[in-house]
Amino acid sequence: MRKLTALGIAAAFLVAAMLVGAFVGAADLNPLATAAALLDKIPFVSLPSSLSPLDKAVLFQIRLPRVVLAAMVGGLLALAGAGYQGVFRNPLVDSGMLGASAGAGLGATIMIVYFGGAGPSAIPVAAFVGSLAGVVVSYTTGVAASRHTVLTDGVATLLLAGIAVGSFLTAVQTVVLQHSASDIQTVYSWLLGSLSAATWQQVISILPYAAVSSAIILVHGRQLDVLAVGDEEARSLGTHPALVRGLVIAASALAAASAVAVSGLIGFVGIIIPHVARRLAGPSYTSVLPLSLIGGAGFLVLADTVARTVLSPAELPIGVVTAVVGAPAFVWVLHATQEART
């Protein structure tokens, strides 16, 4: 019952966030006319709107794809974070760990510095590939460094390997960046994260990855709960710990990579949202996972609305917004975790 209530709250939050996102923006569109234009899009509803053709283009081609993309990215990041936290039995793991963020940053930097002529559409592909490559390298390093296999008992080793690989990739990225002073601004604005170039094309291009990875993570909620009591017990209950870990890590990496590809690096969503979900509905992953997906979506829509309005008519990188909210929240998570242990 508590789970259903929490899911209802999260869904209401997401709908409210998306409405705010659709109605608020630098262009100051008339709210009534905007509402009419939006309702007009619903099948069998026909409403005249007083929005000019330019205003309509702003609403449907600039603002709405951005709101939808923010929802997808936020949901994926939070879900990936929750998935990792289940696998590693540690609530402080983020979606960018295991070399995912560093790999994406390196991929995007290489593309910008060495293949600048390939155009902006090539950067998401490079970030996507870099993010997955970062996870693969971290994973193989972790396996090589651990006497046990990572899939049985080496979760700590895997996390540490991810930190080492991440630092190394960031160092390489810095060296690459030194090769081209004129690209520094482009690279850093990508690293800080932004949804300002959102298009329906981007929404469609990450949709298949988002759907597949989300489905895989969501169906493993029960197994993650079982893993929490220990591998021996899990095996006796008929779960294959190695298989579950492998699948959830792979799906989380895919979810984070598709989010990072279109948004750049956005931190903290993967930590804060699952934690809030735990507070709302308890520690079971059967509720933490869906709550993270919906709550993360709503949170990032609001964060992006702040990013595009607070400094209007300029823009604030969304990574700055999530960090400003996220850093204090992270301290709160630490504090709450301490309390839970004592």
Shortest approach of another protein to residue 139 CB, angstroms? 21
CA angle (81 as vertex; 128, 67 as ends), nearest 5: 65
Between the CA of residue 117 and those of 1, 114, 123, 185, what are the distances in Å?
Answer: 55, 8, 11, 16
Q: Which is nearer to another protein, 138 or 223 (CB)?
A: 138
Measured between alpha carbons, how far is 142 from 136 in angstroms, rounded to an integer? 10
Task: Taking the CA atoms of 168, 172, 173 and 174 in sequence, report the sign of the dihedral they define.
Answer: positive
Q: Which is nearer to another protein, 63 or 245 (CB)?
A: 63
Element (H, E) at 177: helix 155-178
Shortest approach of another protein to residue 234 CB, angstroms? 31
Measured between alpha carbons, how far is 315 from 289 in angstroms, rounded to an integer? 32
Q: Which is nearer to another protein, 7 or 98 (CB)?
A: 98
Q: Which residues here bind another protein, judged by CB under 8 A?
A: 25-28, 54, 57-58, 61-63, 120, 170, 178-182, 184-186, 188-189, 191-192, 194, 196-199, 265, 267-268, 308, 311-317, 319-320, 323, 327, 330
Three-class SS state of 42: coil
Q: Which is nearer to another protein, 58 or 289 (CB)?
A: 58
Shortest approach of another protein to residue 237 CB, angstroms? 36
- As a whole number of Å, the CA-based R_g of the chain is 21
Shortest approach of another protein to residue 157 CB, angstroms? 21
Three-class SS state of 311: coil
Shortest approach of another protein to residue 16 CB, angstroms? 21
Shortest approach of another protein to residue 188 CB, angstroms? 4
Residue holding tokens 């590939």?
A: 129
Q: Which is nearer to another protein, 11 or 323 (CB)?
A: 323
Q: Which is nearer to another protein, 184 or 229 (CB)?
A: 184
Between the CA of residue 333 and those of 277, 281, 286, 338, 340, what are the distances in Å?
Answer: 12, 16, 21, 9, 10
**Residue 316 in contact with residue 106, Cβ under 8 Å?**
no
